[in-house]
Amino acid sequence: MDSFEGSQIILQVHSNAHRSFSESKSIRGDKTMKPLITDRIKGSLLGWVVGDALAVPVHWYYSPARMRADYGDIDSMITPLPTHPESMVQGMSYTGTIDIMHDKAKHYQGNAISDAILSKEKEESLRDDHGNFVGVAQEERVHYHKSLSKGQNTANLCLGRLAVRYLANVNKGGADGYDPDGFLSEFYNYMTTPPPSTPDPAQLIAHNDTYLDVYLRGMFAKASQKDDHSLHDCALSQRETWSIGSLDGVVMTLPILVAYCREPESYVTGRAIEHHMLTHRSVTVTAVVSVLVPLLLDLFRGADLRSTLDEAMLKMRPPKITGREQRDSYLQFKGPGHIPKLEKWKQHMVLADETIKDLVHRMLDCEDEDVAGWGDRDHSRLSTACYCEHAFTVVLYLAYKYADNPKKALLQNVKLGGHSTARGAILGAILGAAHGSESVPFVQDLAAPDVVEQEIDALIGTICEV
């Protein structure tokens, strides 16, 4: 990997920059606090990109057994297959008039049940592992990321990278040029640009992803109803749409966290919340951001990983509902959208009596699939679905258990299945921040590693200019 010019330069000269943060008596915002280490910041952003890309082929395989049957024992970046037995894509739809689907619109069939045609047995065979009606047999289901090549990123991470490029541009010379509506304008242009006819491996022109999350389809559907088609005030709310509490909302905040990492923790947190509210109006996304921000800021200044994780894990409690219980409720109601609103809210908001630190330390000797799963095992404690309260807990568990082995941690995340792309992005960000850029595996297996590093270097350059 080409090293970032000056990546080893510390923003303030300090001979002991690599000591644990716990050795410092300073508080955040004090001029005597430990200096930022740019290589740790670079490692965090590289891990964020890699963690997402590595998980793309097996994203949303809720059955690790089925994943292994299709892909074997994954130990590297690979290209996704064209079909995915657990895909929900063909059961989804988009109701907006703004074209964000482009050549992928044909896959969003929005299949509905026709009682006059389907027997109960046939109907059940066309449902997925969440109880949702997809309308096509497993062998005919389109892969979520069918259109992506080895080492490319999901649409969500591409939008995160768009924020990296945007911030690197508007914050040149140490400026504070971030404007929410300005970013949403860039966001709109990127999403409405069709995939080019010539290769775009870096996904700079368009993401070219097959799957667009509900937050994107919902935002643009709302914008379609406005005269100016602007995305301002178009984000969906978790109280109305259950999946807005997804870890994807947290993933989107990392560029903001990095861009303003010199500011006091409270201000960085405030900025990150402002940014995620553009796309995810969610209590649980905000809760996780409030824990992730100080965790990463400490790691950027040389803190020890496990001690920093212990401190972070004391701030949260895991969800009361287990992974298997959540899965069974989905099947019972034939999809999460049919669970009564208050009951669904409680699934996300009722917490266990122990802290996440208690849970993680108690389960360190367990098999990972007993810690997090969906339906393959009877008693998986956590769900591998997208929800922050489960997904972030899984990330903290993996980061702690495999703290000294980033490659192992990222591969274990992939093998657990479920919403592994967002988990991988946050896990990679944490591990990269703890160990630096050279520790991040698979960087050269990205579809456009040089472009990714240039984007990251440009953003870090704006921090150095402050």
Average pLDDT over residues 302-312: 98
Task: Give the model's confidence band at 33: pLDDT under 50 very low, under 70 low, under 90 confident, else very high.
Answer: low
Both ends of the chain: CA-CA distance in Å?
Answer: 27
Q: For the chain, what is the radius of gyration of the CA atoms?
A: 21
Do 49 and 446 contact (CB within 8 A), yes or no?
Answer: yes
Question: 15 in a domain, yes or no?
Answer: no
Question: 5 in a domain, yes or no?
Answer: no
Question: 11 in a domain, yes or no?
Answer: no
Task: Give the model's confidence band at 13: pLDDT under 50 very low, under 70 low, under 90 confident, else very high.
Answer: very low
For 183, half-sphere exposure in the C-beta direction (CA atoms, 13 angstrom radius) is: 27
Give the DSSP per-residue string, 435-466. Answer: H-GGG-TTGGGSSSHHHHHHHHHHHHHHHHT-
Average pLDDT over residues 62-78: 96
For 192, half-sphere exposure in the C-beta direction (CA atoms, 13 angstrom radius) is: 18
Number of structural domains (the chain) is 1
Res. 8: pLDDT tops 50: no
Question: 13 in a domain, yes or no?
Answer: no
Res. 32: pLDDT tops 50: no
* Six token digits for residue 172: 């040149």
pTM of the model: 0.91
Question: What is the per-residue pLDDT across 391-439, written as a single tens digit (0 to 9) for each?
Answer: 999 999 999 999 999 999 999 999 999 999 999 999 999 999 999 999 9
Residues facing residue 383 across a β-bridge: 373
Structural domain harbouring 434: 21-464
Question: 452 in a domain, yes or no?
Answer: yes
Residues 6+ apart with CB under 8 A from 189: none
Q: Who wins on pLDDT, 137 or 456?
A: 456
Res. 78: pLDDT tops 50: yes
Question: 16 in a domain, yes or no?
Answer: no
Question: 134 in a domain, yes or no?
Answer: yes
CATH number at residue 377: 1.10.4080.10
